[in-house]
Chains A and B, each alone.
Chain A
Amino acid sequence: MSFTAPSDPVNRPTKVKVSQLCELCHSRKALIRRPKNLSKLCKQCFCLVFETEIHNTIVANKLFQRGERIAVGASGGKDSTVLAHMLKLLNDRYDYGIEIVLLSIDEGIVGYRDDSLATVKRNQKQYGLPLEIFSFKDLYDWTMDEIVSVAGIRNSCTYCGVFRRQSLDRGAAKLGISHVVTGHNADDMAETVLMNILRGDVARLEKSTAIITQSSGSPIKRSKPFKYSYQKEIVLYAHYMKLDYFSTECTYAPEAFRGTAREYMKNLEAVRPSCIIDIIQSGENLVLKAKKSNAKKRVVKFVDGNRCTKCGYLSSNNICKACMLLEGLEKSRAQVAIENDTSNDGAALKLRALEKLSF
């Protein structure tokens, strides 16, 4: 009897069935099913489609002008890392002629932001882009850890959201940049549409899906090139392109109400995977009725472009939201404190560690 060598189980080529092939190229094995249209795609087709769709969004909405300097809001997370990578790639590929700067905000959350900023610093080297970091401590003399120790963990997102938005604008203004690009994706956009309806935020309802936002009188405009990109696809793209990103969620609790909307959308996706883009489509068609003029009522007309009397930042009221929050915080600041006290640093991290303890 002749000897038959055993087949090599490791290097044996796997046979791809025709039904497993990508629905676009029909020549490579499909790896993902796109939630948007349920098509099965291979890695190469997915990456090409993903990049081209973002390029199309940029071009169709005329997001950039040649020679423009743009600041990418970089947190080190998946969205902003993919955004920085993508803008550099598309700028080189399609010659937008823009100058990209990474702009990071250090909120002062020990055990979270310090680690994610380390990722941004690595990204800076990997992509060869300039990086500027502005901190809450420098701008407001408060860190998020200090704020949480005074105001409690429940309101952390309110403070962080207001200060970070303002910090990005202030940072961009200091760098002489008038365009901040953020990594808000389709999931964020859909969540916002739902939350604005659920909370009855009529003032924001019509603008909840705007890809470019700018207040009149403000030198800074913001844009969201990932408006139509699913979070899942962003994560997959980062994975396939082996991008270096920081994947831990903020150690402070996410806003409770947003959490409920997120959970609701997760359930909806199980039934209708396209629901995220469907919600955005609905959001684009939400229009408010014209207001009836009421002569009896004294109408205080809101003027877009008002300035805060304290700090000079854009505000719809006399005092901007950040100054109002700071005023409240200052009242609660301890009169006497231990010098070089670090007990509040990383409070959230400790809390998270305690939560995970089991006996």
Chain B
Amino acid sequence: MECQRCPASSRELATVESRKERFCNECFVKFVNTKQRKQMMKDDFFRNLFKVIYPHDKEGSVAKILLPLSLSDSGSLVMFDIVHDLLLEQMKQHNNHTGFTIDILTIFSEESLSVIKERMECLVNEKMLQLNKVKNIFNVHFIDINEFFNSTSELSNLIIDDENFEIFSKLKLVNDSDRLTLREILSKYCLNNSSRADLISIIKNQLIKHFAYENGNDAIMWGHSMTKLSEVIISLVVKGKGSQIATFLDSDSFDTLGNKACKYKNIYPMKDLLSIEIESFLQIKDLAKFLINVEETNIKPNCMITKKSTPSLGQQKLVKNMTINEITTKYFQDIQNDYSNIISTVLRTADKLAQPVSNIAKPSQCQLCQSRIYTNPSNWINRITVTSPYPIETCEEEFLFKQWQESRLGKSHTHYVELLDKIKKDPTNNHDASDNDVKLCYGCLILLNTSIKDKNLMWPKIDTMESLVNKSNDNKELNQILNQFEIHSDGEE
């Protein structure tokens, strides 16, 4: 089978089949490059960010782009590779000048540090060093995920009344005893894998956005493929966060972080590419070696003719151990054969959504996920949920009730009610009975109410977070890689 894109006179053998078309390696790489670059040139704002502007010394002529690189995700790695090639092209065409520089941000946890170090070393040597020898284009930053808990000076103490779905919050200055690590937070609060994944995703997202805000970046390039975006969209609907879809996909407006207005926009350059195409690109360009948590023998689903995917030998997870995003991924995989265009349909539909009209008096941000709140979630649930009991009728019921009252359960319930009453009367506490200051969005309220063990959560207040830019690379081992990297970072040779 021959490539359908090569000129008729010199047709190469096809290696990839995608969207009912056959490609050779070279044509497929070009196809993927074009799809990404088209998104990067989607409007005047991004066109001005990514193209080379003359004169070069004009202030703001070189944009600062943040590229969150997750070495466990193919999307961001492929995006990095395409951007790297684009920068190489710009340097060749414009006498060593580029339209933008890239801040690469990798968030790590203690457990993954050694393997991330090893892979980043390879990536720096193979890809970045070549360009940085000429000009300081790539700046690599590492942030420990625990900085989310270590960098804030204030904590919000969120208390959920699970009978009436009311939320109380109290600000608290951080003591060292209050500081928990991610691992402690997850084991203390989370009941299942899904809530764990939700909290990790919220933390990573906020760290990245906070970094971009402080670092003065002009845009954040997210490596979400069309498949991943569709999965996130459906997952948001399932988690009761449908109102956030429009903001999540918005690349026309500047972002907001808590109450702060940011100077960057979010962009999804890979949104026209399916995950199977990204995996094929990864195989063709031999990029899988940079990924972590990937077995060499295990090839993910792709659209290669020659190198088909190999199913994982590991046992398939039980549904109850899966996260909502994993269940959604599995759903898409299962129906993709019968309903092939479903992924693009979901994204196309979501792109048509707008932010809903707010029903609350004062604009509020969720203290957990920082998204905008449009309705008071407590009022909404209370409107559709009744919690008044059927009256006690018989002597036996009366007896059981007394037994309950005198038991430890009954006493702790009475104590709980008294405590709630005290919290309600405390003027320093805010609670959501009115629409004046809503604390949590609907999705986060349900997350805390159903998947979190303790209804008393201490969560960092993002507005009080210290500078992450200074904290990035604050790690001796990683600095060894960066020292190697910084030799040529003073300027052009």
Q: Which residues of A come within 8 Å of B, CB atoms?
A: 16, 18-19, 21-22, 24-28, 36-39, 42, 44-45, 47-49, 52-53, 56-57, 60, 193-194, 197-200, 202, 205, 228, 256-257, 260, 264, 267-268, 270-275, 277-279, 281-290
Contact = CB atoms under 8 A, between A and B. Distances in A.
B352 to A, nearest CB: 6
Contacts of A22: 389
B254 interface: no
19 contacts: A18-B410, A27-B392, A27-B397, A37-B381, A52-B388, A57-B384, A193-B237, A200-B345, A200-B346, A200-B349, A205-B349, A270-B319, A272-B239, A278-B446, A281-B442, A282-B242, A282-B243, A285-B243, A290-B354
B327 A288 contact: no
Tell which of A228, A272, A279, A283 has the most Cβ of chain B within 10 Å: A272
B249 to A, nearest CB: 11
A267 B327 CA distance: 7
Contact of A264 (B327, B339, B349, B383): B327
A44 to B, nearest CB: 4
B410 A273 contact: no
Point out which of B238, B350, B451 has the most chain A C-beta atoms below 10 A from its C-beta.
B238
Contacts of A282: 236-243
Interface string B19-35: 00000000000000000
A261 B327 CA distance: 12
Q: Is the interface of A mostly helix, strand, loop or mixed?
A: helix
A48 B390 contact: yes
Closest 9 CB pairs of A and B: A282-B242, A278-B240, A285-B243, A25-B389, A24-B389, A27-B401, A44-B390, A27-B397, A200-B345
Contact of A199 (B240, B324, B345, B355): B345
Contacts of A57: 384
A154 B240 CA distance: 33
A144 B398 CA distance: 56
Contacts, number: 181
B242 A24 contact: no
Given A56-B384, A197-B349, A257-B339, A279 B237 contact: yes
Interface in B407-453: 407, 409-410, 442-443, 446, 449-451
Contact of A24 (B328, B353, B374, B388): B388
B354 A289 contact: yes
A149 B246 CA distance: 46
B385 interface: yes
Contacts of B348: 200
Contacts of A202: 349, 352
A287 to B, nearest CB: 5
Nearest to B405: A26
Contacts of B330: 267
Given A26-B400, A53-B386, A199-B345, A271 B192 contact: yes
B347 to A, nearest CB: 9
B487 interface: no
B324 to A, nearest CB: 6
B404 A26 contact: yes
Contacts of B327: 264, 267-268, 271
A28 B354 contact: no
A254 B381 CA distance: 32
A264 B403 contact: no
A288 B237 contact: no
B239 A25 contact: no
B334 interface: yes
Interface of B: 162, 165, 192, 194, 233-234, 236-243, 245-246, 319-320, 322-324, 327-328, 330-331, 334-335, 338-339, 342, 345-346, 348-350, 352-357, 374-375, 377, 380-381, 383-392, 397-398, 400-401, 403-405, 407, 409-410, 442-443, 446, 449-451
A209 to B, nearest CB: 10
Contacts of A25: 389-392, 397, 401
Given A25-B401, A197-B237, A278-B446, A271 B324 contact: yes
B114 to A, nearest CB: 32
Nearest to A50: B386
Nearest to B330: A267
Given A27-B404, A60-B383, A200-B349, 15 more contacts: A22-B389, A24-B387, A24-B388, A28-B400, A36-B384, A37-B381, A48-B390, A197-B237, A198-B339, A267-B322, A271-B320, A272-B194, A278-B238, A287-B355, A289-B246
Contacts of B387: 24, 39, 49
A48 B385 CA distance: 12
Nearest to B391: A25
A198 B162 contact: no
A287 B345 contact: no
A279 B243 CA distance: 11
B450 A273 contact: yes
Contacts of B401: 25-27
Contacts of B354: 287-290
B450 A285 contact: no
A37 B385 contact: yes
A18 B386 contact: no
A286 B404 CA distance: 45
B334 A260 contact: yes
Nearest to B239: A278
A268 B346 contact: no
A243 B398 CA distance: 29
A288 B353 contact: yes
B323 A271 contact: yes
Given A60-B383, A268-B324, A197 B404 contact: no
Contacts of B350: 197
Given A271-B323, A271-B327, A273-B450, A279 B238 contact: yes
A270 B450 CA distance: 12
B346 A198 contact: yes
Contacts of A287: 246, 353-357
B324 A277 contact: no
Contacts of A273: 450
A21 B449 contact: no
A267 B319 contact: yes
Nearest to A29: B400
B451 A21 contact: no
Find the residue from A228, A277, A283, A286 having the highest chain B CB count within 10 A. Answer: A286
A202 B350 CA distance: 9
Contact of B352 (A18, A198, A267, A289): A289
A21 B388 contact: no
Contacts of A37: 162, 165, 381, 385, 449-450
A286 B339 contact: no
A281 B410 contact: no
B403 A18 contact: yes
B144 to A, nearest CB: 29
Contacts of B386: 48-49, 52-53, 56
Nearest to A196: B349
A263 B275 CA distance: 23
B319 A264 contact: no
Contacts of B404: 18, 21, 26-27
Contacts of A288: 352-354
Contact of B380 (A260, A279, A281, A283): A281
Contacts of A21: 400, 404
A272 B405 CA distance: 31
Nearest to A186: B384
A19 B409 contact: yes
Contacts of A27: 392, 397-398, 400-401, 404
A197 B234 contact: yes
A278 B327 CA distance: 16
Contacts of B236: 282
